[in-house]
Every structure is written in structure tokens, then in C-alpha cells.
Amino acid sequence: MNYIENEEYNGTNFNEQPLESGEYESCIFLNCTFTTTNLSSYTFSDCEFINSDLSNALLKHTTFRDCIFSNCKLLGLRFDECNPFLLSFRFKDCILNFSSFYSLKIKKLIFENCKLEQVDFANANLPDVIFYNCDLTASIFENTNLEKADFSSASNFSIDPEKNKLTGANFSSNNLAGLLDKYLLQIK
């Protein structure tokens, strides 16, 4: 297996020039295109993805450890197919619409200024997750552990407190309506 460390890739289209399969550590992917690329069984440790497009990339058994995604387009990604061992990442200014975190167990996951429309969080174990200034329109929360989660600046979420664990979760008085959607109340 190839081992690549401390490399920077800038403006590479990995659909035209495939990324070598292997393990990438402390690498930076800047302005890169991975759309529909097969990244199955790759390992990324302490890597940064900046201004890159990974939409619809295949992630079967892909390992992400301490990776940061900044200003990336991540449409339709199946993070639930990644290698769950030590899975950890952070998302800032990203679009993750139609992605899936189904049944994943990730502590202290951070989403900052992200669009998370129609994202599947069902059956996930996400204690201490932070949704800082995130749009969660039509995202799925069912049987999700959201203990100590921070939704205080999140918007457009719909979470049934009877079907999710919310002990110690933070909300603001401006977004509490997202906890009452099932009752079809008129809140002003």
C-alpha cells in the first residue's frame, strides 16, 4: 500500500488523473475535484480538504481520521459506509446536502456554517455534536443520540424529542419550534 505524507495537491481533477490508492497523512487537497471518484479503502489522516468537490464520491471502507473539510461541496456522500474505527472529521462552510451519517458513532462532531439539507442522521450516536449556524432543512433525526448537542444557532430542523435522546442538548428560544413540528402548532 502506498504511503503519502505532507503532500499538497492543488487544482487536481482526480476524475482525469486518479489519486493513487493508499494512505494519506497530513496532506492538503486544495481546489480539487473528486466527484464520483472511487475512494473506497483509502485512508486519510490529519488531512485538509479545502475548496474541493467530493460530491457522490464512493467511500466504502474509507478511513477519515481527524480530517477537516473547509468550503467543500459534499453532496450525496455516504459517510455511513466509511470505516467507523476512529472516524473523526470537522466541517466548516460546507454543503453536505443528501449525505448520510446513518448509524455512525462520532463524538464531538462539528458542523460550522454548513448546509445540511435532507441529511440522514437516523440511528446515529452523536453526543456533543455542534451544529453552529447550520441549515438542517428536512434532515432526518430518528432514534439519534443527540445528548449535549448544540443546536442553539441551527435552523430549520425538525426533531421529535420522543424519538431521540436530547438530554443536555442546547437550543435557543428562537428555534424551539423545531421540537414541536409533529404537533402542527402555529408558533408566532
Q: Which three cell numbers stand for residue 132?
A: 453552529
Q: Which three cell numbers stand for residue 169?
A: 442538548
How big is the chain, counted in residues? 188
In angstroms and rounded to an integer, the radius of gyration of the C-alpha atoms of the chain is: 17
Report yes or no on whether pTM surpasses 0.75.
yes
Distance in angstroms (rounded) separating the CA atoms of residues 40 and 58 = 6
**pLDDT of the chain along its 188 residues, tens only?**
799 999 999 999 999 999 999 999 999 999 999 999 999 999 999 999 999 999 999 999 999 999 999 999 999 999 999 999 999 999 999 999 999 999 999 999 999 999 999 999 999 999 999 999 999 999 999 999 999 999 999 999 999 999 999 999 999 888 767 786 665 545 56
How remote is the C-alpha of 111 from its chain's centroid? 7
Query: Residue 160 contacts by C-beta under 8 Å, 6 or more apart in sequence?
Result: 141, 142, 179, 181, 182
- What DSSP designation does 59 have? -
Q: Which three cell numbers stand for residue 152?
A: 442553539
- Please report the domains of the chain, with CATH numbers, ordered by start residue: 1-96 (2.160.20.80), 101-188 (2.160.20.80)
Contact, 37 vs 15, CB < 8 A? yes
How remote is the C-alpha of 43 from its chain's centroid? 17
Distance in angstroms (rounded) separating the CA atoms of residues 140 and 123 = 10
Distance in angstroms (rounded) separating the CA atoms of residues 104 and 87 = 9
Residue with cell 470537522: 90
